[in-house]
């Protein structure tokens, strides 16, 4: 049987995509069967940009770019469950931690995969941005009910961030299937850690259905968090290691669990085909936005750097079609701005006007013309996003109208350390700031080794 025949046989064996769920996702996923029509005239694995409109209650809320692919080089943990790897879950009452991006490589949602396997999913638990990944950043999400499956939904970004004993009542196991961003201040890694702790404290098993780190497994950048007496613990600084840690969420669960006084009964359903040096494009997987403003793998790659601009008076692109890939302000003289080159990125001057939307209810400089720059990815494998962020801050902070939110405390809170802010205020060079983290990076590579799966 040829490789093409094997792929065809696999497609015939797989369950169909739940069309009601696909509508529920608002068109975020372009099923591979649609992409195969394209692949007949384009090379295999060619990425095709497709514009879709995310709809809520019949209203267009957000234009999003997703990637349609002909084949996938990687099978995620959920794919293994869909293929029948369910022994660890059979006969157990399951709490399923999911969001919109909890899909197989061919677009089936985890709720449907576990349901088709006749597994006993008792309730759903959801992170920041909610079950449909549409709530704005920082917007509290209420608990409720999934209209498609009829399952109760417990919000882990509302009254509580950590599952309570009541949330876990009558459960045997928590199954975690979220797509992370590979950076500490993206809150899904904190949801992982708190849910793992809750499972350990309440005697539940904890199963992670693993997914790729969109930043890869070798890229390590940025500072570690400061001691808690310097910067208190918060929902954006719970993860250990450098800001860009280079772990999958399954590996992060293993690392954190090793340090718990009472470890959870943890297992990870591993991916097949993923390698640490892979870019997202090389996985062949469709990008389903895990949050309303992280709309493409390119945005995810820039995010550890451009996300730092949220702590300033510059727009980081919320309220535009390409958040985190554009920045600026009405007062910025971008035409005369000289920003040093950063590996993997190219900058081009632009003009944009932030608009209100459910994804950005109150963006900076609403309806004001902003002068700024658009970010292009020139080499995803060589890109250094944190270096990009430090370079931008070092250059832009010298502008006359630049300002720090909360006098710089917003940056310290976001990073979990005052180190970067102090370095910038002391006039240190970008190279000096980056070099200060190198010893911690070397130590992190050593201590994380026991948690690696790939």
Distance between CA atoms of residues 111 and 101, nearest Å: 11
- In this structure, the answer to whether residues 203 and 126 fall within a common structural domain is yes
Residue 434: name the closest of 381, 393, 382 by CA: 393
- In this structure, the answer to whether residues 128 and 255 fall within a common structural domain is yes
Q: What angle do CA 231, 237, 158 make, to 5 degrees?
A: 110
Domain encompassing residue 11: 3-68
- In this structure, the answer to whether residues 321 and 257 fall within a common structural domain is no
- In this structure, the answer to whether residues 227 and 151 fall within a common structural domain is yes
Domain at 367, CATH number: 3.90.1150.140
Give domain status of residue 316, yes or no: yes
Across residues 144-167, what is the average pLDDT?
A: 97
Give domain status of residue 441, yes or no: no
Determine contact, residues 145/151, Cβ cutoff 8 Å.
yes
Give domain status of residue 166, yes or no: yes
Give domain status of residue 447, yes or no: no
* pLDDT tens digits for range 7-34: 333 333 345 556 565 555 554 544 443 3
- In this structure, the answer to whether residues 259 and 302 fall within a common structural domain is no
Determine contact, residues 135/141, Cβ cutoff 8 Å.
yes
Report CA-CA distances (Å) from 166 to 97, 192, 233, 247: 16, 18, 24, 31
- In this structure, the answer to whether residues 48 and 90 fall within a common structural domain is no
3-state secondary structure of 231: coil
Domain at 182, CATH number: 3.40.50.12170
Determine contact, residues 325/317, Cβ cutoff 8 Å.
yes
Domain endpoint, select from 289, 313, 344:
289
Residue 333, pLDDT score: 86
Across residues 312-317, what is the average pLDDT?
A: 98
Distance between CA atoms of residues 451 and 247, nearest Å: 9
**DSSP annotation of 449:** G
Determine contact, residues 20/148, Cβ cutoff 8 Å.
yes
- In this structure, the answer to whether residues 350 and 319 fall within a common structural domain is yes
Domain endpoint, select from 48, 68, 88:
68
Is residue 53 predicted with pLDDT exceeding 80?
A: no
Distance between CA atoms of residues 132 and 28, nearest Å: 10
Mean pLDDT value across the chain:
88
**DSSP annotation of 360:** B
Residue 334, pLDDT score: 72
3-state secondary structure of 277: coil
Give domain status of residue 430, yes or no: no
Residue 24, pLDDT score: 53
- In this structure, the answer to whether residues 119 and 32 fall within a common structural domain is no
- In this structure, the answer to whether residues 96 and 57 fall within a common structural domain is no
**DSSP annotation of 205:** E
Is residue 124 predicted with pLDDT exceeding 80?
A: yes
Cβ-based neighbours of 311, under 8 Å, separated by 6 or more = 404, 405, 408, 410, 411, 413, 414
* Number of domains the chain is built from: 3
- In this structure, the answer to whether residues 135 and 280 fall within a common structural domain is yes
Residue 336, pLDDT score: 81
Give domain status of residue 12, yes or no: yes
- In this structure, the answer to whether residues 275 and 142 fall within a common structural domain is yes
Give domain status of residue 19, yes or no: yes
Distance between CA atoms of residues 264 and 204, nearest Å: 7
Residue 155: name the closest of 194, 132, 196, 127 by CA: 127
Residue 58, pLDDT score: 29
Residue 28, pLDDT score: 52
* pLDDT tens digits for range 156-200: 999 999 999 999 999 999 999 999 999 999 999 999 999 999 999
- In this structure, the answer to whether residues 62 and 81 fall within a common structural domain is no
Give domain status of residue 380, yes or no: yes
Distance between CA atoms of residues 55 and 330, nearest Å: 30
* pLDDT tens digits for range 364-423: 999 999 999 999 999 999 999 999 999 999 999 999 999 999 999 999 999 999 999 999
Domain endpoint, select from 68, 95, 118:
68
Distance between CA atoms of residues 372 and 386, nearest Å: 19
């Amino acid at each position: 049987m040829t490789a093409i025949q094997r792929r065809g046989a696999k497609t015939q064996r797989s369950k169909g995509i739940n069309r009601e769920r696909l509508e529920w996702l608002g068109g975020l996923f372009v099923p591979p069967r649609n992409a195969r029509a394209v692949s007949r005239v384009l090379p295999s694995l060619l990425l095709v940009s497709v514009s879709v409109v995310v709809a809520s209650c019949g209203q267009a809320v957000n234009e999003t770019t997703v990637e349609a692919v002909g084949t996938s080089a990687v099978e995620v943990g959920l794919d293994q469950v869909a293929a029948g790897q369910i022994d660890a879950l059979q006969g157990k009452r399951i709490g399923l931690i999911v969001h919109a991006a909890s899909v197989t490589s061919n677009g089936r949602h985890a709720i449907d995969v576990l349901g088709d396997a006749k597994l006993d999913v008792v309730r759903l638990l959801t992170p920041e941005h909610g079950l449909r990944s549409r709530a704005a950043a920082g917007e509290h999400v209420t608990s409720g009910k999934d209209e498609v499956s009829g399952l109760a939904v417990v919000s882990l970004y509302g009254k509580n961030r950590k599952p309570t004993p009541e949330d876990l009542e009558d459960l045997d196991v928590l199954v975690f299937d979220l797509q992370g961003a590979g950076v500490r201040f993206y809150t899904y890694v904190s949801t992982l850690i708190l849910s793992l702790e809750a499972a350990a404290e309440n005697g539940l098993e904890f199963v992670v259905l693993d997914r790729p780190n969109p930043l890869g497994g070798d890229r390590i950048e940025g500072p570690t968090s400061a001691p808690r007496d310097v910067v208190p613990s918060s929902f954006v600084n719970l993860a250990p290691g450098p800001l860009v840690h280079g772990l999958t969420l399954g590996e992060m669960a293993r690392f954190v669990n090793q340090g718990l006084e009472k470890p959870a009964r943890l297992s990870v359903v591993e991916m097949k085909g993923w390698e640490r040096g892979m870019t997202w494009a090389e996985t062949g997987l469709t990008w389903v936005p895990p949050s309303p403003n992280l709309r493409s793998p390119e945005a995810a790659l820039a995010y550890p750097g451009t996300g730092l601009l949220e702590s300033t008076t510059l727009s980081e692109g919320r309220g535009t079609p390409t958040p985190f890939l554009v920045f600026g302000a009405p007062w910025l003289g971008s035409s005369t701005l000289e920003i040093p080159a950063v590996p993997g990125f190219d900058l081009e001057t632009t003009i944009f006007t932030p608009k209100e939307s459910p994804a950005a209810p109150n963006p900076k400089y609403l309806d004001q013309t902003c002068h700024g720059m658009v970010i292009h990815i020139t080499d995803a494998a060589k890109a250094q996003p944190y270096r990009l962020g430090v370079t931008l801050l070092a250059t832009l902070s010298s502008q006359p109208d630049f300002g720090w939110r909360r006098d710089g405390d917003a940056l310290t809170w976001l990073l979990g350390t005052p180190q970067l802010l102090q370095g910038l205020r002391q006039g240190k060079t970008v190279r000096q700031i980056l070099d200060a983290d190198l010893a911690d990076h070397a130590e992190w590579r050593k201590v994380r080794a026991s948690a690696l799966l790939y």
